[in-house]
Amino acid sequence: MTAQLTTGWREKGIRSVWLAAALIAASSVVFILGYLLLTSLPIFFETGIVGFFFNTDWNPTGSTPSFGIAALLIDTLLVTFGAMVFAVPLGLMAAVFLAYLAPPKLRDIVKPAIELLAGIPSVVYGFFGMIVLCSFLQQTLDMPSGFSWLAASILLGIMALPTIVSVSEDALFAVPKDYNEASLGLGATKWQTISRVLVPAAASGISAAVILGMGRAIGETMAVMMVAGNAAVIPSPIWDVLSPVRTLTATLGIELAEVASGSMHYYALFGVAAVLLAITLGVNLISVWITKRIKTGRPLVSMPAAARRILIICGMLIAFTAGIVILGIGPTLLAAAVFAGFFLLRDRVSHKVAERAAFGVIYAGTALVVATLIIILADIFIHGLPAISWEFLTTAPRDLGREGGIFPAIVGTLQLVGGAILLALPVGIGAAVYLNEYSAGTFLTRLLRTGNDLLAGTPSIVFGVFGFAFLVIFLGWGVCLLAGMICLALMILPTIIKTTEEALRSVSPSLREASFGLGATRWQTIKNVVLPSAAPGILTGTILSIGRAAGETAPIMFTAVVFSKRFISPDLFEPVMALPFHLYVLSTSVPGAQTQQYGTAVVLICLVLLIYLGAILLRTHFRKKLI
Amino acid sequence: MTPILSTRNLNLSYGSKQVLYDIDLPFEEKSVTALIGPSGCGKSTLLRCMNRMNDLIADCKVTGEILYRGEEIMNSDPVLLRRKIGMVFQRPNPFPKSIYDNIAYGPRAHGTKDAKTLDNIVENSLKGAVLWDEVKDRLHESALGLSGGQQQRLCIARTLAVNPDVILMDEPCSALDPIATTKIENLIMDLKTKYTVIIVTHNMQQAARISDTTGFMYLGKLIETGTTGTIFSNPKEELTERYITGRFG
């Protein structure tokens, strides 16, 4: 009798299925990146690198077309910077409040609520920005129109808030409780403890939060496009926040639909997409670097006290000069006096007064954050709920959406999302299982991980650009359901792979060893031990991707959707309607449809929030089952 | 001589669970008092009453008197109280800052800004905790790079920098190896020339080696207190005798 110590064909077969999934995932990642970069090459030959980046004139359809993205690049940076000016201090205040000042019960309600708001589709924020924010700015600041850098920055700031609050709160909450006791035990006040020990100890996590928020702001298309005014000019003077601006993403969103395939303009748009990819790469590299620093526990920046002092003095001088240039001498001196007064008083007033003042500011900031988010939801629901009726939900639109309902759009969204999940889920989970369970550090895994990390933060419009150029035009599918499904699937694939890998990694190695030690095969171990423990994590990741896919507009607007379609068909090569796109067209191009706009926004929010709620419930259910 | 710190009729409960019962205990100035007893007997809780660290626990209720130099501490400002009554914790807990910034943290929080003064405080505190020679060349490196024993001496130095009157130590050696423990024990005996030290320990030999007075606690009650020599050689209570001879605990 032989010992039978060779692996059976069954194990080998299963292994090759996972390998196939990983290969599909890796090749699609490589293909997208390669396709975008190769297609953008002609524009660089036409204008040269310098001409493309440093020419401020973007006029692709003029009689002598000009393709300089300097203005777009600067506008993108300005809008992002402006958003961070709002979002970082406010987000940090709310995070400090939630982590250290709020009663635990309040924290347990407010934190998930804020996280839920991260799931509201960007087109809904854009709609709110157009209807409420821009008209508010127009009236208060007496502007010809509210569409401006300021509006875009405020809106992006609001959109980045949930991410910043949630991630920095996690970092603050994870600071060892020992530090708190040690500091209080030395006779420091609670505020001194927070400001001098706890927040600095969480600095790495907080910077990661800010970077994530920035990534979200840079990659946003719809919301910015709807409120920024979209003139490809550099604000003049550069601090004129009321000037209209146009970001890189908005340029793609506006011009892709009208461009002639194969023209220089077309290649220039691919150049813009490539630049967006490069920015994403930069942001991702920074966040990887920070995460590494967090893991090794080293401070992000360490410099001697003297250098820090010089840096602070330089910063203050720059701020002072900028203040004089922007605000004039009077207000700047006043601001400087308040600032100096603050620092002089800080050590004079009793620690109790200082603490109360600081906490007062934090309470006010948190209240502002919560109030903003409540106002947005309240405005949409108060105006939108009356529009909801049986007819609205079950009939097709009439009179350009001013009458009738949104039934085809609801069905279209479900079709798109369902198809995307069917495509992305097997490949994503399979690739993650292969990466984590079968291979260790091969070329394929490195390639897939790197490409995946890069695509994970890529602005969603880039997937739209790829789908439009490759599926719609090159393959000649035209605008159709299948193209949209593929674009959405490509967009959520990196997230699914990432969250699945995280879930698999969180399964303790000792469990696997225990199973192997009992003579189980690799597949038996995966099937019976690893996957059941990782299931809640995988499910949550999947459901969050579904929510994201349901709310996205940018990847489908050029690939799958039309504004009006009376009949519902399951044909993959027919275009469909979709809720986010319907809301976008209703709010930008159909005057007099306000009720329907609000109604569509409500349905879209409810759909996405229901999906998220499902994720939360499912997670709790599985957690209970595991324990 | 009036004690520097004393409790009278001290009762403490977490929610509905009573943890300390009628503790009457005086602490003599410039001496080392050890609190011993089996785990869960309430000795750490008693220690944390002295500088109101129990305020951090939500449903903690304290009744009775705790007098510090004749003043009731429950009426004091906890922040100012903790500047007088410092604390060293069970696990070394240096801040993720440089050695220098760890020591200077307390004085800075209390408003000292002058660089020279801070330099002096840092040097003297580190010398006071017998750590200066080991770290003087790397004051601006992270405190997290120190060994466990060095970290704990850093935490003691950090407490000294605030110039307290009383130092509370909650099992300061329980996370350390024997050599580091010896160093800390020697340090504690040096400290009593200037400070009043109250130490909680589960190590009876340690209590016998370093303390002047010992209190034995059991199930939230103070069973017996007296000079360390008496407690260990000639205890009055049978419970104390059984505990120190290792028959339970």
Partner residues linked to A209 by β-bridges: none
Phi first, then psi, for residue B167 (nearest 5°) are -120, 120
- Contact (CB<8Å) A201/B95: yes
Just give the CATH number of B28-51+77-244: 3.40.50.300
- Give every strand in the sheet of B32-36, ordered side by side: B71-72, B60-68, B5-14, B17-27, B221-227, B213-218, B32-36, B196-200, B166-170, B85-88
What does the pLDDT look like over A525-557, one tens digit per residue?
888 888 888 888 888 888 888 888 888 999 999
Nearest to A188 among B89, B94, B106 (CB): B106
Q: What are the sequence ranges of the domains in chain B?
A: 28-51+77-244
CA distance B59 to chain A (A): 13
Q: In terms of CA atoms, which chain B residue is nearest residue A349?
A: B111
Separation between Cα atoms, residue B158 and residue B102, nearest integer Å:
6
Contacts of B109 in chain A (CB under 8 A): 183, 186-189, 192, 196
Best to test chain B binding among A186, A303, A352 (most B CBs inside 10 Å) = A186
Contacts of B155 in chain A (CB under 8 A): 182
CA A43 to each of CA A89, A275, A467, A474: distance values in angstroms, whole numbers, following the listed order = 40, 12, 20, 19
Q: Report the interhelical angle of B148-161 vs B115-128 (nearest 10°).
A: 130
More confident residue, A81 or A619: A81
Separation between Cα atoms, residue A95 and residue A72, nearest integer Å:
33
Contacts of B78 in chain A (CB under 8 A): 184
CB A545 within 8 A of CB A113: no
Q: In terms of CA atoms, which chain B residue is nearest residue A200?
A: B96
Structure tokens at A401: 């959406």
- Contact (CB<8Å) A187/B79: yes
Q: Report the interhelical angle of A9-54 vs A70-96 (nearest 10°).
A: 120
- Contact (CB<8Å) A184/B56: yes
pLDDT at A117: 81
Contacts of B159 in chain A (CB under 8 A): 185-186
Beta-strand pair B71-72/B60-68:
antiparallel
Percent of the residues in chain A that have a pLDDT greater than 70, as a whole number = 95
* Mean pLDDT, residues A600-612: 90
CB A615 within 8 A of CB A539: yes
Beta-strand pair A397-398/A58-59:
unpaired
CB A290 within 8 A of CB A204: yes
CA distance B21 to chain A (A): 25
The residue among A537, A433, A297 whose CA lies nearest residue B97 is A297
First to last CA, chain A: 45
- Chain B interface residues facing chain A, Cβ-Cβ under 8 Å? 51, 53, 56, 77-84, 86-87, 89, 91, 93-97, 105-106, 108-111, 113, 140, 142, 144, 155, 158-159, 162
CA distance A510 to chain B (A): 27
CA distance B126 to chain A (A): 16
- Contact (CB<8Å) B79/A189: yes
3-state secondary structure of A433: helix
CB A568 within 8 A of CB A582: no
pLDDT at A468: 92
Q: What are the sequence ranges of the domains in chain A?
A: 312-348
- Quick one: pLDDT band at residue B208, thresholds 50, 70, 90? very high
Query: Does A51 have pLDDT greater than 90?
Result: no
CA distance A182 to chain B (A): 7
Contacts of A295 in chain B (CB under 8 A): none
CB A83 within 8 A of CB A157: yes
Structure tokens at A38: 């190769």
Q: In terms of CA atoms, which chain B residue is nearest residue A199?
A: B96
More confident residue, A606 or A509: A606
- Quick one: pLDDT band at residue A215, thresholds 50, 70, 90? confident
More confident residue, A77 or A313: A77
- Contact (CB<8Å) A182/B155: yes
CA distance A188 to chain B (A): 6
Separation between Cα atoms, residue A238 and residue A222, nearest integer Å:
24
Structure tokens at A213: 């928020």
Contacts of B79 in chain A (CB under 8 A): 187-189, 351
CA distance A365 to chain B (A): 25
Separation between Cα atoms, residue A262 and residue A42, nearest integer Å:
10
pLDDT at B226: 92
Structure tokens at A571: 């044909």
* Mean pLDDT, residues B118-128: 94
- Contact (CB<8Å) A304/B140: yes
pTM: 0.85
ipTM of the complex: 0.87
Q: In terms of CA atoms, which chain B residue is nearest residue A344?
A: B111
- Quick one: pLDDT band at residue A301, thresholds 50, 70, 90? low
A521: left (phi over 0), alpha (psi -120 to 50) or beta: beta
CA A363 to each of CA A96, A174, A310, A491: distance values in angstroms, whole numbers, following the listed order = 10, 21, 33, 38
More confident residue, A125 or A300: A125
Structure tokens at A104: 């635990």
Neighbours of A378 (CB within 10 A): 11
Query: Does A179 have pLDDT greater than 70?
Result: yes
Long-range contacts of A443-449 (CB under 8 A, 24+ apart): A444/A22, A444/A23, A444/A26, A445/A22, A447/A26, A447/A29, A447/A30, A448/A22, A448/A25, A448/A26, A448/A29, A448/A497
Separation between Cα atoms, residue A570 and residue A576, nearest integer Å:
9
- Contact (CB<8Å) B113/A347: yes
Separation between Cα atoms, residue B137 and residue A245, nearest integer Å:
54
What one-letter code names the amino acid at B72?
A: E
What does the pLDDT look like over B6-61, one tens digit per residue?
999 999 999 889 999 999 999 999 999 999 999 889 999 999 999 898 888 888 89
pLDDT at A347: 63
